[in-house]
């Protein structure tokens, strides 16, 4: 069972306690001739993912709808068709908006508990990508709400995306996630429910999708994989509503990266292929570079050396076409040296240590923000250890540990632990000293 975060968020929005909902359900049941005897423990079970029996879900929607002054559907309350069983394209955009904003409220209200949501696999993981790639598209995204959306609101969302992305790179996803999620709930949700025409609406959905993607990145960095996946799927749906295929391809690149982390190698390959195919000529060279490089890593995980090296060549060809001033804001992460560290990881997986070291060393020498530098140093240290040079690896790891200080990132902590364990196992005196520096960095609580 997955926690019903949608119902949890609706209860908080409506100001209804667990006992209060149970009392109202019992009253509604009696009015319809049914003897119901629910209490707060039953509501707790519903919030943990258990589906109420019979007509109780409809009663709950009616109760919450009356309280909120707007209709609440089964989907919005988390009682719709189970994830992955709905027909492609079945959820209208308006219904999606309500579900998305409910998740934002639920994430903010549940705090640390929100990270417990597991990532879906198989068909439920693939379906959002399939829906993005295939018809039907949204013919008109205009909406008639209370508040009028203005072009300045779109600029505010774009500025917020850049701000939170910079904060993530500087401080990590753990520190940034709560802030971006609060911004989504307080500032962004009213705009999506506001009044706008089709053209402005598409800009609104694009700007929101890019911001939601940052929330997903922060959740991923916090090791909340299920939550990150939900945000990425939301961003993909918003990208489709915007009509911007290139933005959708960017979001899929985030899903590819997560698939690699989850060791879903074949899924990573197919997702990247979908992005490259569907975005077509609209994809930027920087994004194509990253997608090909991640495909190379996926093929390396699968042990397919020929395909991995062919994708490396594709990535290198695309990298030659990158023109920084002509790239969209979202691909700013494709900085000098990123391709080298991606290739180094792929070659390390294939066992080609000399080539992996050459690329890792070049990546470290290239300019990068602190977060990227930590990752690059970790890869170089691992390669140096694999080549039997623990003392050199220790010096590299010491610099990595120093740069990682102050970053609240679960992914970087995992990376640091991995390097520490490798250093400790080497038996070198310098390596053990470097492992101690990493332990010091890890003692800083998240």
- The pLDDT profile of the chain, 446 residues, written as one tens digit per residue, is 667 878 887 888 788 999 999 999 999 989 888 889 999 999 999 988 899 988 899 999 999 989 988 888 887 788 875 443 444 444 578 888 888 888 898 888 776 566 677 888 888 899 999 999 998 999 999 999 888 999 999 999 999 999 999 999 989 999 999 999 999 999 999 999 999 999 999 999 999 999 999 999 999 999 999 999 999 999 999 999 999 999 999 999 999 999 999 999 999 999 999 999 999 999 999 999 999 999 999 999 999 999 999 999 999 999 999 998 899 999 999 999 999 999 999 999 999 999 999 999 999 999 988 889 999 999 999 999 999 999 999 999 999 999 998 889 999 999 999 999 999 998 889 999 999 999 998 887 66
pLDDT number for residue 444? 72
172: left (phi over 0), alpha (psi -120 to 50) or beta: left
Crossing angle of helices 198-221 and 245-261, rounded to 10° = 10
* Exposure class string for 27-60: b at 16+ Cβ within 10 A, else e: ebbeeeeeebebeeebbeebbeeeebeeebbebb
Strand blocks (E) in 246-351:
none
Say what the alpha-carbon torsion angle 155, 156, 159, 161 is, to the nearest 10 degrees: -110
Closest of 336, 362, 357, 333 to residue 345, by C-alpha: 357
**b/e string for 172-202 if b means 16 or more Cβ within 10 A?**
bbbbbbebbbebbbeebbebbbbebeeebbb
Instruction: Check: CB of residue 380 under 8 Å from CB of residue 357.
Output: yes
Distance CA 113, CA 94 (A): 27
- H or E element: which one contains 309? helix 305-319
What pLDDT shows up at residue 125? 92
Residue with tokens 């694009």: 206
Per-residue b/e over 390-399, b at no fewer than 16 CB within 10 Å? bebbbebbbb
CA–CA separation, 353 vs 345, rounded Å? 10
The H or E element containing residue 363 is helix 353-365
Query: In whole angstroms, what is the distance from residue 128 CA to residue 328 CA?
Result: 23
**CA dist., res. 114 & res. 178, Å (int):** 11
Cα 354 to the center of its chain, rounded Å:
34
Distance CA 387, CA 110 (A): 46
């Amino acid at each position: 069972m997955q926690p019903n975060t949608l119902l949890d968020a609706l209860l908080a929005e409506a100001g209804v306690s667990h006992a209060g909902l149970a009392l109202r359900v019992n009253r509604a049941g009696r009015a319809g001739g049914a003897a119901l005897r629910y209490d707060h423990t039953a509501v707790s079970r519903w919030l943990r993912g258990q589906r109420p029996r019979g007509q109780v879900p409809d009663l709950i929607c009616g109760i919450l709808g009356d309280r909120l002054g707007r209709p609440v559907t089964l989907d919005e309350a988390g009682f719709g068709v189970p994830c992955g069983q709905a027909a492609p394209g079945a959820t209208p955009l308006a219904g999606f908006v309500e579900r998305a904003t409910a998740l934002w409220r639920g994430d903010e209200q549940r705090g640390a508990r929100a990270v417990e949501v597991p990532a879906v696999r198989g068909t439920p993981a693939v379906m959002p990508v399939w829906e993005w790639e295939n018809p039907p598209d949204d013919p008109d995204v205009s909406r008639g709400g209370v508040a009028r959306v203005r072009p300045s609101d779109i600029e505010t969302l774009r500025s917020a995306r850049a701000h939170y992305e910079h904060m993530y790179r500087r401080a990590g996803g753990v520190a940034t996630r709560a802030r971006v999620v609060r911004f989504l709930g307080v500032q962004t949700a009213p705009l999506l429910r506001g009044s706008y025409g089709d053209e402005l609406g598409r800009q609104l959905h694009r700007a929101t999708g890019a911001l939601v993607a940052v929330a997903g990145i922060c959740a991923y960095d916090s090791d909340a994989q299920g939550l990150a996946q939900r945000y990425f799927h939301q961003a993909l749906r918003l990208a489709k509503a915007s009509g911007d295929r290139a933005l959708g391809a960017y979001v899929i690149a985030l899903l590819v990266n997560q698939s690699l982390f989850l060791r879903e190698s074949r899924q990573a390959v197919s997702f990247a292929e979908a992005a490259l195919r569907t975005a077509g000529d609209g994809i930027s060279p920087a994004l194509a570079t990253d997608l090909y490089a991640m495909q190379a890593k996926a093929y390396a995980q699968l042990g397919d050396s020929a395909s991995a090296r062919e994708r490396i060549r594709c990535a290198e060809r695309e990298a030659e076409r990158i023109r920084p001033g002509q790239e969209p804001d979202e691909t700013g992460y494709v900085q000098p040296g990123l391709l080298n560290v991606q290739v180094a990881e792929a070659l390390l997986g294939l066992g080609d240590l000399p080539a992996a070291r050459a690329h890792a060393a070049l990546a470290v020498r290239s300019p990068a923000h602190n977060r990227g530098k930590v990752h690059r140093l970790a890869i170089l240290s691992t390669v140096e250890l694999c080549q039997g040079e623990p003392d050199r690896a220790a010096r590299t790891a010491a610099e990595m540990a120093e740069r990682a200080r102050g970053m609240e990132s679960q992914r970087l902590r995992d990376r640091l632990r991995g390097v520490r364990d490798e250093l400790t196992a080497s038996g070198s005196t310098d390596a053990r000293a470097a492992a101690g520096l990493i332990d010091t960095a890890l003692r800083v609580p998240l």
